[in-house]
Amino acid sequence: MHAIRAQVLLMVLCWLPTTGMAEQSRFALRALGVKVGELVLVSDLNASRYVVEGQLTTTGLAGAIKRVRFVLEAQGRRKGARFIPSLYVEDMDTGRRISRVRLDYRNGIARASGPKISDRSNYAVTDAQQRGAVDPLTGIFMVLRDQNPTELCTLRQKLFDGERLTEIALTRQIDENGGVRCVGTFTRLAGYPPGDLRTGSRFPVSVTYEPAGSVMRATRVEAQTIYGPAVVLRK
């Protein structure tokens, strides 16, 4: 479940309170060629702050097998392309179990409450390792928000969900038919049992952006997971 969750959260986007100039988008999540989920995105940010929430619900065959719903919230400060979270909340409902995780940030360090307690194992993530990391939803938003052309393909960011530490890197740019494809990797860094890392620690990721007025907009995400390829498409 942790591996599925990490890959899903890599691609989940946001649904947030309708304050300020909120924008909404919808996405379809496909795995192994089959639609398995739907995402709703609404984003609200200005030059100094951001608030995001995300909702992912399984659909199709995946929904018939197991209905899962994630509702995520993140907020914090913004300095240009840098995002500094102050709060992250994750609610998960599997139909049989409901869990809630909260991360509060101070001086760049997240403190977890809920089922994820970062010091509960001998492979737990240390404060030094996670310093400067953002929560999963903030990381997703950094990748998938509308961006200026000069900002594309310059991202290298650690992510920490209260238990696992990962990194998203999109640093290679490929120009394609008026659009841009940013290519990179999603890497598991720490907080994983040794057995989990044997199934893979680094996975290729690419994000395609297309012009939307004066900005570039993410329209397609492709990621390799331990279960096979996954794709997110903007509707």
Q: pLDDT tens across 181-229, in order?
A: 999 999 999 998 878 877 788 999 999 999 999 999 999 999 998 878 9
Cα 27 to Cα 13, 55, 214, distances in angstroms: 8, 11, 22
Q: What is the pLDDT of residue 64?
A: 47
Q: From the centroid of its chain, how far is CA 71?
A: 12
Closest CA to 103 of 192, 55, 163, 56: 163
Q: CA-to-CA distance for 139 and 41, rounded, in angstroms?
A: 14
Q: Which of 119, 87, 116, 115 is nearest to 103 (CA)?
A: 87
pLDDT at 12: 43
Find out whether 53 and 75 touch, Cβ atoms under 8 Å.
no
The residues of the chain scoring below 70 in pLDDT are 1-22, 60-66, 114-120
Residue 209 structure tokens: 């952006």
pLDDT of 116: 60
Interatomic CA distance for residues 192 and 198, integer angstroms: 10
